[in-house]
């Protein structure tokens, strides 16, 4: 029983981080109809940045974290400005360019950081006894609360601020938004940066628990894509619910069925969604 509870807790912790990563993809898809296939590589880079900032340069871990996310944000803005912007309206080229970019970044990571898994230092040590049922690592508990904090700030940013309003306006109708004075190029650029930063945030929060390697990037991207399709393209709520579902199912599946096939469960979910509810849990049916 306590074993099952522990796997569930694991699923929820990973699920929340899944949600952050997926919102990064969903924001960009919603606003500019671009799927960023280099999402997983940005996550990996963030993990390595955070590792090298704190281990090689001696920056305190809690400062290395936002610093790495900010670096990824800048990389995202650079990507949008140089490679993505010229492809607006041409879905095919944006898919090709971000895929090629993912391969380039993956190889660059291999060249710069080497093939070895790296793990930034834990922020806290020890474990906590949860309701007298089981012990749970403090690092995971802290990661969970930081992720909840990140989630709440994204929701605030998108639902309550002017920037969020412009994002939603552009997702609904780009031309109308431009007509009423939204600078859509600037919003695109910032939204792409934000999407990248969320990949970075997920990478920074999760890398002390699961070390990063250059070859691990495609499964990160894939997880985010599965959550986005499951939740419904462009739906933030969908990302949270989808992220939790995937996190829990993967952890239970890995524990009770097979660890090797952890990623297969996600793909099965993807196919089931496409067969029975292709617009996702919270997506709009009109397509």
Partner 1 sequence: MGNKKLWISFAFIILALFPPLFLSQYWLHVMIISLFYVMMASSWNLIAGFTGQVSFAHAAFSGMGAYTSGMLTVYLGLPPWLGILIGTGVAALLGFGLGYLCIRMGGIYLSLTTLGFSEILRIIITNEDQWTRGTMGLQVPGFFVEYSKTSYYYLFLIVTILLLIVIYKIIHSEMGLTFRAVLNDEVAASSSGINTVRVRVLAFAISSAMSGLAGGFYGHYLMLITPDVPSLGQMFLVLAMAVIGGMGSFAGPIVGSFVLEILSEYIRVYGEYHVLLFGLIALAMARFAPEGVVGILRKKWRREWA
**Rule CB under 8 A: is residue 227 a binding residue for partner 1?**
no
Which CB sits closer to partner 1, 64 or 229?
229
Two tokens at 276? 């029975």
Task: For residue 199, give the nearest of 175, 176, 223, 179 by alpha carbon.
Answer: 223
Q: What is the CA radius of gyration of the chain?
A: 19
What are the distances in angstroms from CA 188 to CA 19, 30, 49, 155?
21, 11, 25, 18
Site for partner 1 in 15-44 (CB under 8 A): 29, 33, 35, 37
Site map 229..248 versus partner 1, x via CB under 8 A: x---x---------------
**Rule CB under 8 A: is residue 93 a binding residue for partner 1?**
yes
Site map 172..211 versus partner 1, x via CB under 8 A: ----------------------------------------
Task: For residue 71, give the nearest of 43, 36, 46, 40 by alpha carbon.
Answer: 46
**Closest CB 237 distance from partner 1, rounded Å:** 20
Task: For residue 283, give the nearest of 12, 26, 25, 21 by alpha carbon.
Answer: 26
Which CB sits closer to partner 1, 179 or 260?
260
Task: For residue 182, give the nearest of 31, 15, 56 by alpha carbon.
Answer: 31
- Residues of this chain that interact with partner 1 (CB under 8 A) are 29, 33, 35, 37, 82-83, 86, 91-93, 95-97, 99-101, 103-104, 107-108, 111, 218-219, 221-222, 225-226, 229, 233, 260-261, 263-264, 266-267, 270-271, 274-275, 278-279, 287
């Amino acid at each position: 029983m306590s074993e099952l509870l522990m796997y569930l807790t694991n699923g929820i912790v990973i699920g929340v981080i899944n949600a952050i990563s997926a919102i990064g993809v969903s924001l960009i898809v919603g606003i500019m109809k671009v799927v960023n296939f280099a999402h997983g590589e940005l996550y990996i880079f963030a993990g390595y940045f955070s590792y090298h900032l704190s281990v090689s340069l001696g920056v305190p871990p809690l400062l290395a974290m936002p610093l790495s996310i900010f670096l990824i944000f800048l990389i995202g803005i650079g990507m949008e400005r140089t490679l993505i912007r010229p492809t607006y309206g041409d879905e095919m080229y944006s898919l090709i360019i971000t895929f090629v970019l993912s391969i380039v970044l993956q190889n660059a990571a291999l060249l710069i950081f080497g093939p070895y898994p790296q793990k930034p230092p834990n922020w806290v040590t020890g474990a906590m006894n949860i309701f007298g049922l089981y012990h749970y690592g403090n690092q995971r508990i802290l990661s969970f609360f930081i992720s909840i904090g990140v989630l709440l700030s994204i929701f605030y940013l998108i639902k309550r601020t002017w920037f969020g309003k412009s994002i939603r306006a552009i997702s609904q109708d780009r031309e109308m938004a431009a007509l009423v004075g939204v600078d859509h190029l600037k919003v695109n650029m910032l939204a792409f940066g934000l999407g990248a930063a969320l990949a970075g945030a997920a990478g920074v929060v999760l890398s002390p628990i699961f070390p990063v390697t250059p070859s691990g990037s495609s499964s990160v991207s894939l997880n985010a894509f599965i959550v986005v399709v499951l939740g419904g393209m462009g739906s933030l709520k969908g990302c949270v619910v989808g992220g939790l579902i995937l996190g829990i199912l993967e952890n239970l599946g890995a524990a009770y069925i097979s660890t090797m096939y952890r990623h297969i469960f996600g793909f099965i979910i993807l196919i089931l969604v496409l067969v029975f509810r292709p617009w996702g849990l919270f997506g709009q049916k009109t397509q």
